[in-house]
Amino acid sequence: MDGESIKKMLRSVLLSSKEGVSIGRLQTEYRSLCGELIPHSKLGHHSLEDFLRSIPSVVRLEHRMGEMRCFAAICKETRHIAEMVARQKSSKKPGRSQLVNCTMRFKPSNPYMLNGAFHNVLPGNNLMMLYISDDFCCLYVNLFESVDSAPVLNKNRFSIPIPRNQALSVNWCNNLTNISLSPWLQPEVYNPELVQSRLSDLLSKHCSGLWLSKLPGVYLEMFAQAIPPQALQQLDTWSHICMVENLNSSNRTDRLLYPPLPPKPTAAPSPPSPPSHLAAPCPPPTYLFSPTSAESSPVKDPASTASASLWSPSRSPGFAPNMPTAVSNAAGSPPNSSAVSPLSPELQDRLLELLSKYSNGLWTHALPQLFLDTYKMAFPEAVLGQLSLLEDICSVDYPLSHDRSKAILYERREAESQRTEPCCSTAPASGVPVLGVQALPSLTLPTEQYPSVLVTEARGSDRVTVRYVGKGYSKAQESMENAMLAFYTQSPTPDTLPSPAIGQLAAVTGEAGDELARVQVIEDMTSEKVKVYYVDYGFSMEVSSSSLLVLPQDFLTLPFQATTVQLAGLEAWSSKPVVVSALERLAVGRILLMETVEVCPGEKLPLVVLYDTSQDDDLNINAACRKALQDHAAQDHAPLIVSSRYQDVWVTNVSSDGFLSCQLPCRGRSSLSGLLAKIEAFFSNQVTSECLVSQPFSGKLCLARHRGKWSRAEIYNLHGGRVMDVVFIDLGVSSSIEVTELREVPPPFLTDLTVLPAQAVRCFLADLDRPSGPWSPEALLWIRQTVLNMPCTMKVLAHHSALGCVCALSLNGQSVSAVLPKARPEAGDSPSKPAPLNLCICLSLQAGQNMDVFVPVACHPGHFVVQPWQDLYKLVVLMGEMVLYYNQSQTSSSIPLLHKEHVYAAKIDRNWHRVLLKGVLSTGLVSVYELDYGQYELVSSSQLRSLIPEFRQLPFQAVTAQLAGVPHGGWSEEASMVFRNHVEKRALVAQVESVHEGSEVKAGLGEVSERRLTVFLVDTSEEDNDVWIHNIMTDLCELPATSTI
């Protein structure tokens, strides 16, 4: 790359960051974009800073916050890009997505009144903690059992699921008679007998009760016809068909329907007998709380009859909500369900066993093959066409409203009356029971996805002692120790512990006497020496008995800060010396990020994964410890010797950028082939679900099929709980697969497979240009057809830090490089022209509507972006489907013909997003606008693909908005910052004042017509007060502005 190209790429890197890039991170940012470092030495400069100072037209250097930062020098060519980036608060930085944790209060309201008045205090709330995704994010939701007579605000209104990809809303106003349906949904003639018969069939499947507000949707799903409004008025009189229970006299739809009880023998005249199939008594329904809207927000347990409003603070789809409340009826089910037999008890038990393995749900399209592989018997696929037969076994959800053939099954779980925050054990990490203290507080786990921890001790992978770092943990401990120091210094002669006993708690002074800490006596050494364990620091030490002080109860209110965890994936080798040594070298004494995979009940330690993010590339500590077990003696060829020639080399993969993965002959390859053959036989004969992967995590080693054969796969990225990226470590192939395709390594083969090193060797063909982009489809097709799975001869020519092994490959005595077609496409070489596609439907938004929203981007009150919460879980499912399609499909790998203001799919941070192309740069980068998140990004044009019609059905989720109730004009930087702090990356309630369609805002946007909302924003996260954002900004408007933006 010549000097001018380096300058252009450097300018592209700097333009993506409004706040500049530190000089220490510049090389990393540049390499992530270009695949190489800035060669300042080749350009005649001794250091990177000298090179940057020599190009003032490209880079501007400034000292900020004690470090040197680099900014892009603005030129005419890039001024519009800089202005576009400047409108954002900050750029997206590489690495893991940061989570925002928020505590939300569920605000019950009357769903049938369009506008309700807000009030400040809501009594009677109960806190419930829900775990979303995999994985990862903890959200607090206050669920109110009582409904106040003065509604707080209007939540999501009832929406009937409509077949044929049509959306229809039913607005309930004061009573159920004001229902407006499309003519094609209206029954031709009202037939009470037919409706009564259908209601009997419907209620027989809902023995535990059905909310009246959900009846129209369930009826429509089951019989493909809308329930007549006359029938809703006559339900109270049809006592032989249904029983109606009124739970709230002020709200007509807070009523439950369930089948009538069987008639009791009595001399008095009895009402008409119910149908014979309803003769069996149904258990009385149990209620947690009444619904406030018929269309429920996503919850962890889809089987719950409750309706809750949750919020996702995460931008990443892995951390957004992914479990909706289910509608347990199959789309398009015929009225008569007797044509398909229900599942036998044996099949029901096995289906429940499968669902218990997949807490994030099981796609119905994966069920037949999974059932066959696991139990060696076929699942009756006719049942999948009539999912209403499964509603007593599991819950069913249709996340893709445009495709009713795709459904997710969830295990039904009994709702817990009370749910508490996950806590660690109250016992100290020393393992010695506490003596003389009745009750100790337990350590509450942080709500962050990746909390920072200090690893203080590692006695094995199953006994790793850590301390949480941050507010509420290390900061709280520091405050407590300062209070202890003040307490003990007030007394000239503090009380010493008279006779220390094992397990007793005490305070101990430091060597200088100006520090105090809480300890536990764990061993009596001599009459003057004892061994104590520092319960807040996680290590033990011998101290003098005279230095132990009596610890008052007041200093036991803070939980012990040192806690013990176990590393996931290392259970079989927890005490191996090589594992302990790797932990000591990589983890002990370091501040790392920790991801909790599973919070185990009782006294079992939580399973975690540790990450070291201090280097340019994140290091997975769990995976590094597992790789320390590998026997490199099995690799006869390691290390590769320059100028050596190897026979019988198999090329297992050719990536799109020209890198090859090869397997060289060695004892490891022979051993691997034998082990995989035994595993094939094991899975063919074994009938068990024990090998299903129920807890995937990054760095986990498992098995997956590649081209029909089992191979070792390592997970390196998760997209929620159902889709993940894996690399087949023996083939060098990366792929995105569903969790149902993964298997645990069977215990008899676990050790043998783990100790074998990865067999794939990464190399690049000599005599070719260094890769800086994807190869042409013709070159890829030719080389794949020529050398894949063919025995070749390889000669090692050099080792390169970026390319790996540079080799000469020959097949049948002929050099592959010499006959390889043109590998690098010229600009505009036969790109695929996208066919005309249907435009994406728009979100239905109306003035006066109240809705739950998430604000991913905020610039100032005149410009921010909201995402309606109602369909965010569908966006998570959609993005998982996009990952599977674009990462697996070879046919979708061609770069489309690019047109400004057209919609494409773009790969950003390992995820695929729906984007609008805003501009094309000469450097090969393109400027795109994320249509679901409202962010501008610079990506390589090679990361764009055509957006197929299936991924255009869900409306784009990012809606531009401005704040109502405030004057619009110039906002000072201080006011904009206050606004961002109150709304950005937060879940709020929005009241729509007006909707401006695209013709009123901006014309000529190609495939997307922009709309803008004017909304009031309300923060309902406080327990006893609703905060209206426009009131805050109005107060700031009265202050004199110092600057404008």
**What tens digit of pLDDT does each residue of 544-586 get?**
888 888 888 888 888 888 899 999 999 999 889 999 999 999 9
Show the tokens assigned to 252: 């007509």
User: Which range scores top for mean pLDDT: 125-134, 249-258, 471-480, 794-803?
Assistant: 471-480
**SS3 at position 19:** coil
**What tens digit of pLDDT does each residue of 655-666 get?**
877 788 899 888
The reported pLDDT for the residue numbered 674 is 93
The reported pLDDT for the residue numbered 645 is 87
Ramachandran class of 650: left when φ > 0, alpha when ψ lies in -120 to 50, beta otherwise: beta
Which domains are delineated in the chain? 3-86 (3.30.420.610), 158-294 (3.30.420.610), 342-414 (3.30.420.610), 452-624 (2.30.30.140)
**What tens digit of pLDDT does each residue of 374-412 get?**
998 889 888 888 888 887 888 888 887 667 678 889 887
Per-residue HEC secondary structure of 194-240 comes to HHHHHHHHHHHCCCCCEEHHHHHHHHHHHHCCCCCHHHHHCHHHCCC
The per-residue pLDDT of the chain, averaged, comes to 74
The reported pLDDT for the residue numbered 1034 is 84
Residue % of the chain over a pLDDT of 70: 71
**What tens digit of pLDDT does each residue of 705-755 get?**
998 899 999 999 998 788 899 999 999 999 899 999 999 999 999 999 999
CA angle 784, 785, 791 (to 5 degrees): 85
Largest CA distance in the chain: 108
Phi, psi of 797 (to 5 degrees): -100, -35
Kindly indicate the confidence band of residue 421, based on its pLDDT and cuts at 50, 70 and 90: low
Q: Would the CA dihedral through 386, 392, 393, 394 be positive or negative? A: positive
Higher pLDDT, 455 or 112: 455
Q: Which residues contact 293 (CB under 8 A, 6 or more apart)?
A: 111, 155, 156, 157, 158, 213, 307
**What tens digit of pLDDT does each residue of 23-34 get?**
888 887 887 777
Higher pLDDT, 363 or 814: 363
Burial 109-128 (b: 16+ CB within 10 A, else e): bbbbeeebebeeebeebeeb
CA angle 551, 554, 556 (to 5 degrees): 70
Q: How far apart are CA 794 and CA 796, in angstroms?
A: 7
The reported pLDDT for the residue numbered 641 is 80
**What tens digit of pLDDT does each residue of 632-642 get?**
877 766 677 88
CA angle 393, 396, 400 (to 5 degrees): 165
* Average pLDDT rounded to a whole number, residues 854-871: 90
* Average pLDDT rounded to a whole number, residues 816-826: 57
The reported pLDDT for the residue numbered 17 is 76
Show the tokens assigned to 186: 């209206």
Q: Is residue 794 predicted with pLDDT exceeding 90?
A: no
Burial 877-893 (b: 16+ CB within 10 A, else e): bbbbbbbbbbbeeeeee
Q: Is residue 869 predicted with pLDDT exceeding 90?
A: no
Is residue 389 within 8 Å of residue 343, measured between CB atoms? yes
Q: How far apart are CA 564 and CA 459, in angstroms?
A: 10
The reported pLDDT for the residue numbered 689 is 84
Q: Is residue 21 predicted with pLDDT exceeding 50?
A: yes
Q: Is residue 440 predicted with pLDDT exceeding 60?
A: yes
**What tens digit of pLDDT does each residue of 950-981 get?**
888 888 999 999 999 888 778 888 889 999 99
Is residue 929 within 8 Å of residue 938, measured between CB atoms? no
DSSP E strands, 861-984: 863-868, 903-908, 911-920, 925-930, 936-940, 944-946, 959-963
Q: How far apart are CA 523 and CA 158, in angstroms?
A: 65
The reported pLDDT for the residue numbered 174 is 35
| Residue that is written with structure tokens 């050494």 in the block | 525
Higher pLDDT, 265 or 15: 15
Q: How far apart are CA 583 and CA 422, in angstroms?
A: 26
Kindly indicate the confidence band of residue 688, based on its pLDDT and cuts at 50, 70 and 90: confident
Q: Which residues contact 647 (CB under 8 A, 6 or more apart)?
A: 665, 791, 793
CA atoms within 13 A on the CB side of 159: 16
**What tens digit of pLDDT does each residue of 495-551 get?**
888 888 888 899 998 776 678 899 999 988 877 889 999 998 888 889 888 888 888
Is residue 23 within 8 Å of residue 52, measured between CB atoms? yes
Q: How far apart are CA 582 and CA 624, in angstroms?
A: 8
* pTM summary value: 0.62
Kindly indicate the confidence band of residue 1018, based on its pLDDT and cuts at 50, 70 and 90: very high
Q: Is residue 672 predicted with pLDDT exceeding 70?
A: yes
The reported pLDDT for the residue numbered 1011 is 79
Bond before 639 cis per omega within 30 degrees: yes
Q: Is residue 121 predicted with pLDDT exceeding 90?
A: no
Q: How far apart are CA 163 and CA 330, in angstroms?
A: 11
Candidate from 421-425, 443-447, 797-801, 879-883 with smallest mean pLDDT:
421-425
The reported pLDDT for the residue numbered 274 is 37
Show the tokens assigned to 382: 């006719």
